[in-house]
Chains A and B, each alone.
Chain A
Amino acid sequence: MDALERATGVARYAADWKKKDMLYARIITSTVPNGRVVEIDKSGASGTEGVVDVVTCFDDRTIWHAGEREHERRLFTDRVRFVGDCIGAVAARTRMAAQKGSEAVRARYEEYQATFTIESSLREGAPKVWDDGNVLKTRNYGYGDVEEAFGACSVIVEGEYETARVHNSQLEPAASLAWWEGDRLTVVAATQSIFGCRNGIARDLGIPADNVRVITKYKGGGFGNKADSMNYDLIAAILARRTGRPVMVEYSRSDEFTSVHGRWSSRQKLRLGCDQSGNVLALEVNAMCDIGAYTRRIKPFNFVDGAQSYYSCRAFRGEDAGVYTNTPATGHMRAPSGPQSCFASETIMDEAAFRLGIDPLQFRLRNMVRVAHNSETLTSNGLEECLRAGAEAFGWKERRNAGAVAAETSTGAGVAIAAWHSRLGRGEAAVSLTRDGRIVVRTGVVDIGTGAKTTMAVIASRNTGMPIESVDVEWGDTEGSPYSVGESGSRTTAFTGTAVKAASTALRGRILEKASGISGIAPGSLEIRNGAVLNAGRKLLAVEDVAETLESELVEKAATEPALPKGTERLSFAAHFAEVEVDSETGAVRVLKYVAAHDSGPIVNSLTATSQVHGGVIMGMGMALTEQLLISDYDGSVLNGSFMLYRLPNIKQTPDIQAIFINTDDPFGPKSLGEITLVPVAAAIGNAIFNATGVRLRRTPFTPERVAAGIEGKRSESLPGAR
């Protein structure tokens, strides 16, 4: 509903704001991967024309609580842990002066040995990223007796899988504008959660949350890297307080790659056991993830998560750990730990199906989850329908390669399934009828591109009986908005949407009471349709007429927090089908056709839901084929921190994508969607490459050289006389 603003360029993103006397800030970052700042010489910066203020780790000791999960992280740190760690910032009258000033600051370090890989971090006597060790153990998880279950298996498949570090790379670089009026702080942030951002800033600066106002009207994507207060929000606020002027912090694209987290890489060992007829009995996952110098992952989740909910096996055991390295921080990215988990488990499932000679689709139909974790009832489960409807639309039988590997190019088809959390939680909304007959929805939702605003308007329209054109949504400002969970965890529709529905339904009741007062007909005999109050299908009056009689706006507020009954689990499901074409010489992979079938409960807005699926598939193609944040083995710095070198999916790679929705009737309404769309993509594409070429890829991304090397290996195997 704000598409016109976006399409005409009037939508204002954080960096589009201006304030009188505004200063520009640049961060000063560490040039060593592990060490301590001994001394900082600011004179070069202070002497730069236009520089107004220089702040360093020796001037300001603010703790950035959301910056690291297990340890205290200083906003400006003297104990640096990666090349790019923030040690200070410069504020200047122009962008150019801020840049020059930041470059003129000289820091002297005491350098320590550093570690850049999982192996070197685990080695005995390894350099320490943190004093208490380099390993962050998470809880083990699972169900059933795995060893007993493996004992009953006649086929056991084992494999090692790796997913590369990738980066959120939302197109809008970080920006934050802050100013103070007395003790009141206003921050124009590019955040996914205005309340999370506000509360985080208040906590870090030690001021009451009521003194902080956060505004985010438009946000140019986030995919998980803007959920709390971010360091640039705090830097803007601190410099604004020191200088008494508004301060804008803008990150460059290379700052984004180095200073804003991406997705951690994973290395996983899997063991999967089946009986002779192809029933999976046991699955074990052992994962190690390179989480960089800081992890912004929130407790208590694991670093690899999801596969425990995909299958009906007798037992599952998951064990994982994060390993700190002197490399950039990692954190949330769209389904933070899901694609890593799915890639490994759905690849080994494919390997098992091949070993058993069972069609991969049939293998999944046989083994897909029916009772969650072998004990919990699912509130709804459309996975079987996803598999069947998806296969039908895709043309599974026709597109499967029967074994003909052509000389130049070959095609093949693959399938992968996924499940993802669909939690319930707190939502608040106020819905009102104004005196001029319009519906106003007030929520704390931020629209980062998921269509949340439109979705809230659709829910209000349906439940009040007013046409969508009469609905306005006020959003994106902590002043005057009720609480909303942030745009993360695919939760907006489920959490806040539930509150909007409750408030809208209550408001319709109030409008009907008023209409009853005017018409003399009992409210129970009235209904509202398309803005008109009807009795037995005949229009009595318009809601506008009711509104005219109001003395003030008619407001209904709702706070909802539904809870799952004990012993139940609520999940969204997906089955993805990919057809690829592989060039046997170059190893280049092209995705030709893609069908994504989803069970996300009843779909509120199929237009924006379809767009979410398209977006997840494209992002998943990036993870599968081209994206990889390269880390220097010399100093742990980012080697490809630009769009020139970090290859995001391009419009030319767009396959024919079809989204299918299985509208299961979940008792709690819509389920999550935004994140799961990306989860199965890499596995589906990898499995399709195997079907096309016989080459099994266990590491993402499937770059041309890896695919070509695999094909070369196959050829030499099949040469006459080869060993």
Chain B
Amino acid sequence: MSGKWKRQVSFTVNGASQSLEADVRDTLLDTLRDRVGLTGPKKGCDEGVCGACSILLDGRAVCSCSMLAVEAHGSNVVTIEGLGKDGEDRLQLSFIAHDAMQCGFCTPGQIIAARSFLDSPGADLTAEGIKNALSGNICRCGCYANIIEAVLAAARSGGGEP
């Protein structure tokens, strides 16, 4: 494997600067999991359908399996591990209080998608709005009813500010 596949990539991950030599073919998800050591984002489908790999890229939820690490150069990346770093995140606590998870595998992605939704200006803070915002995150355990409740409760308690 020669240097032709390698590029130096620098980005901010959970508030800390990261600079690493990435294979240009590696997804951002694999890079976060294997190179940065953040295994909160999960690989559920590796094709951008299930949402388990969701991260915040410059504040917006994206599927980290569907972009390359080199595309994140210069970006600000926040993973589930980066939420609630300074004290517990209200959204995470709301998920716990409403039993909005069973196996927990999709949970990091659900919370990231909900975070992105709550932070977006003019978000439609109704059950319908939440359903639309989280429709890209599959939960096979079927916790949807409690996820809606958890996000609604976080929204009511001040837009879910951390």
Bound Cα distance from A221 to B103, whole angstroms? 5
CB-CB contacts of B55-76 with A at 8 A, as 1s and 0s? Answer: 0000000000000000000000
Within 8 A of B (CB), among A513-560: none
Q: Say which size band chain B's interface belongs to.
A: 35 or more
Give every chain B residue within 8 A of A96 (Cβ-Cβ): 23, 25
The smallest beta-carbon distance between A368 and chain B, in angstroms, is: 27
Residue of B nearest to A678 (CB): B142
* Max count, chain A CB within 10 A of own CB: residue among B1, B43, B45, B140: B140
Within 8 A of B (CB), among A18-65: 18, 49-50
**B144 in complex: contacting residue of A8, A171, A612, A618, CB < 8 Å:** A618
Residue of A nearest to B84 (CB): A8
CB-CB contacts of A5-17 with B at 8 A, as 1s and 0s? Answer: 1111111110110
**Cross-chain contact A650 with B135 (CB below 8 angstroms):** yes
Residue of B nearest to A219 (CB): B103
**Cross-chain contact B139 with A651 (CB below 8 angstroms):** yes
Query: With A6-B104, A9-B81, A652-B135 in contact, do A643 and B25 touch (Cβ < 8 Å)?
Result: no
Give every chain A residue within 8 A of B159 (Cβ-Cβ): none
**Cross-chain contact B144 with A651 (CB below 8 angstroms):** yes
**B105 in complex: contacting residue of A3, A13, A619, A657, CB < 8 Å:** A13
CB-CB contacts of A233-272 with B at 8 A, as 1s and 0s? Answer: 0000000000000000000110000000000000000000
Residue of A nearest to B107 (CB): A6
Stretch of A151-159, A340-348, A444-452, A570-578 with 4 or more beta carbons under 8 angstroms from chain B: A444-452
Give every chain A residue within 8 A of B144 (Cβ-Cβ): 614, 618, 649, 651, 654
**Cross-chain contact B105 with A9 (CB below 8 angstroms):** no
Bound Cα distance from A610 to B142, whole angstroms? 11
Give every chain A residue within 8 A of B93 (Cβ-Cβ): 7
Query: With A8-B81, A9-B79, A9-B80 in contact, do A611 and B102 touch (Cβ < 8 Å)?
Result: yes
The smallest beta-carbon distance between A192 and chain B, in angstroms, is: 11
A95 at the interface (CB under 8 A from B): yes
**Cross-chain contact B43 with A170 (CB below 8 angstroms):** no
A405 at the interface (CB under 8 A from B): no
**Cross-chain contact B96 with A3 (CB below 8 angstroms):** yes
**Cross-chain contact A643 with B49 (CB below 8 angstroms):** yes
A338 at the interface (CB under 8 A from B): no
Bound Cα distance from A253 to B140, whole angstroms? 14
Q: How many A residues have CB within 8 A of the partner chain?
A: 56
Bound Cα distance from A83 to B18, whole angstroms? 44
**B143 in complex: contacting residue of A2, A7, A219, A611, CB < 8 Å:** A611
A615 at the interface (CB under 8 A from B): yes
Give every chain B residue within 8 A of A13 (Cβ-Cβ): 39, 42, 105
Give every chain A residue within 8 A of B146 (Cβ-Cβ): 611, 614
Give every chain B residue within 8 A of A649 (Cβ-Cβ): 142, 144
**Cross-chain contact A618 with B142 (CB below 8 angstroms):** yes
**A170 in complex: contacting residue of B95, B130, B140, B147, CB < 8 Å:** B140
B16 at the interface (CB under 8 A from A): no
**Cross-chain contact B47 with A644 (CB below 8 angstroms):** yes
B7 at the interface (CB under 8 A from A): no
Residue of A nearest to B109 (CB): A171
Bound Cα distance from A16 to B40, whole angstroms? 9
A642 at the interface (CB under 8 A from B): yes
B106 at the interface (CB under 8 A from A): yes
**A253 in complex: contacting residue of B46, B95, B142, B145, CB < 8 Å:** B46
Bound Cα distance from A7 to B94, whole angstroms? 10
Give every chain A residue within 8 A of B134 (Cβ-Cβ): 651
Query: With A8-B80, A654-B144 in contact, do A171 and B106 touch (Cβ < 8 Å)?
Result: yes
Bound Cα distance from A495 to B149, whole angstroms? 32
Within 8 A of B (CB), among A285-326: none
A585 at the interface (CB under 8 A from B): no
**Cross-chain contact A220 with B45 (CB below 8 angstroms):** no
A420 at the interface (CB under 8 A from B): no
A4 at the interface (CB under 8 A from B): yes
The smallest beta-carbon distance between A118 and chain B, in angstroms, is: 28
Give every chain B residue within 8 A of A6 (Cβ-Cβ): 101, 104, 107
Q: Which residues of A contact B (CB under 8 A)?
A: 2-13, 15-16, 18, 49-50, 95-96, 169-173, 218-221, 223, 252-253, 448-451, 607-608, 610-612, 614-619, 642-644, 648-652, 654, 657
- A614-B143, A651-B130, A654-B144 given. 15 additional CB < 8 A pairs? A3-B96, A7-B93, A8-B40, A8-B92, A12-B39, A13-B39, A18-B34, A220-B42, A221-B102, A221-B140, A253-B44, A614-B142, A644-B49, A651-B135, A652-B135
In the A-B complex, the 8 residue pairs with the smallest Cβ-Cβ separation, listed nearest first, are A9-B40, A618-B142, A449-B103, A6-B104, A220-B105, A449-B102, A9-B80, A615-B142
Q: Which residues of B contact A (CB under 8 A)?
A: 1, 23, 25, 30, 33-34, 38-47, 49-50, 52, 79-81, 83-84, 92-93, 95-96, 99, 101-108, 111, 130-132, 134-135, 137-148
Q: List 18 A-B contacts (CB under 8 A).
A: A3-B95, A3-B96, A4-B92, A7-B92, A7-B95, A9-B80, A96-B25, A170-B140, A253-B45, A449-B101, A608-B99, A610-B99, A612-B102, A619-B140, A643-B44, A643-B49, A651-B135, A652-B131
